[in-house]
C-alpha cells in the first residue's frame, strides 16, 4: 500500500450497498390486499356451490328412497290382498252351480220331497253357505245390488225395462251375482236396470158432436 492510499480518508470506507427495490405491485400497495385474496374467494365460492349441489342430490335421494319404500309397502299389501284372486275366480263357478241347484226347486221349495231328497237339499244349502263364508273370510264379497243405483264399475247392464217401483237407473233384477275382492271387482253383477215409469198412453180424442 502506498502513502497516498493511507492518507486518503475515503479509501477506508466500504462501498455503499444499493437500495432494495420495492417489487410489490402498485395496486396491491394502494389497496392493502394480498395477490392471493381473489384466488381464495373463488375457492370458497366453488366449495359453497359444491355443498349446495351435494345437498340437493342428498334430498333427491332421500325422496326417492321414501317413494320406493311406500311403493314396496303398497305392493306387499296388494299381494296379500289379491293373492287368492285366481283361485277365488275359479270357485265362482262352483258357487253358481250350487245356487242354480237350489233355485231349480222353484217356489215350492222342499214341499213334496221325500226325506232323502230334503237331506240332499239341506246339504247343498249348507255347502253353499260354507263356500260363501270361506270366500268372505279371504276378502271375497258378494255383490247384491238389487234396488241400488246402477254402478258401471260394479255392475253390467243386461237389459233396461220400465219399472214404476224403482227410480230410473236403479237395479231391478240380478241375472248373475257379482263378487268383489278387497274393493276390487272380481266379477261384475249382471243386472237389469229400470228406465223409470212407463209413459202413459195419450187419451184418444172424442169425435166432435154432430
CB contact at 8 A, 117 and 154:
no
94 and 168 assigned to the same domain = yes
**Residue 142 sits in the same domain as residue 163:** yes
> What is the rounded distance in angstroms from the CA atom of residue 25 to the CA atom of residue 35?
9
User: Please, is 182 exposed, middle or buried when counting C-beta atoms within 10 Å of its C-beta (0-12, 13-18, 19+)?
Assistant: middle
Query: CA angle, corner 106, sides to 104 and 107, nearest 5?
Result: 160
d(CA 127, CA 49): 73
142: how many CB neighbours lie within 10 A of its CB?
13
43 grid coordinates: 375457492
pLDDT (tens digit, 9 = 90+) per residue, 87-133?
A: 888 899 999 999 888 888 877 777 778 888 889 989 999 999 999 99
Query: What range defines the domain where residue 100 resides?
Result: 85-194
Indicate whether 73 and 111 sit together in one domain.
Answer: no
Residues 113 and 185 in one domain: yes
Question: What CATH number does residue 103 fall under?
Answer: 2.30.22.10
- Whether residue 93 is found in the same domain as residue 185: yes
Q: Is the pTM of this model over 0.85?
A: no
Q: What is the mean pLDDT of the chain?
A: 80
Q: What's the number of domains the chain is made of?
A: 2
69 and 54 belong to one structural domain: yes
Amino acid at each position: 500500500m502506498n502513502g497516498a492510499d493511507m492518507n486518503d480518508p475515503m479509501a477506508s470506507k466500504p462501498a455503499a450497498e444499493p437500495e432494495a427495490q420495492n417489487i410489490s405491485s402498485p395496486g396491491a400497495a394502494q389497496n392493502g390486499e394480498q395477490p392471493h385474496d381473489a384466488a381464495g374467494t373463488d375457492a370458497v365460492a366453488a366449495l359453497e356451490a359444491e355443498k349446495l349441489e351435494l345437498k340437493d342430490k342428498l334430498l333427491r335421494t332421500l325422496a326417492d328412497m321414501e317413494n320406493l319404500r311406500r311403493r314396496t309397502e303398497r305392493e306387499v299389501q296388494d299381494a296379500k290382498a289379491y293373492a287368492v284372486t285366481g283361485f277365488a275366480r275359479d270357485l265362482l263357478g262352483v258357487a253358481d252351480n250350487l245356487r242354480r241347484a237350489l233355485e231349480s226347486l222353484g217356489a215350492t221349495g222342499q214341499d213334496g220331497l221325500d226325506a232323502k231328497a230334503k237331506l240332499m237339499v239341506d246339504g247343498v244349502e249348507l255347502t253353499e253357505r260354507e263356500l260363501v263364508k270361506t270366500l268372505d273370510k279371504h276378502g271375497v264379497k258378494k255383490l247384491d245390488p238389487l234396488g241400488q243405483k246402477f254402478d258401471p264399475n260394479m255392475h253390467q247392464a243386461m237389459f233396461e225395462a220400465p219399472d214404476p217401483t224403482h227410480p230410473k237407473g236403479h237395479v231391478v233384477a240380478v241375472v248373475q251375482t257379482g263378487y268383489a275382492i278387497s274393493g276390487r271387482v272380481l266379477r261384475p253383477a249382471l243386472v237389469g236396470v229400470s228406465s223409470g215409469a212407463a209413459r202413459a198412453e195419450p187419451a184418444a180424442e172424442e169425435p166432435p158432436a154432430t
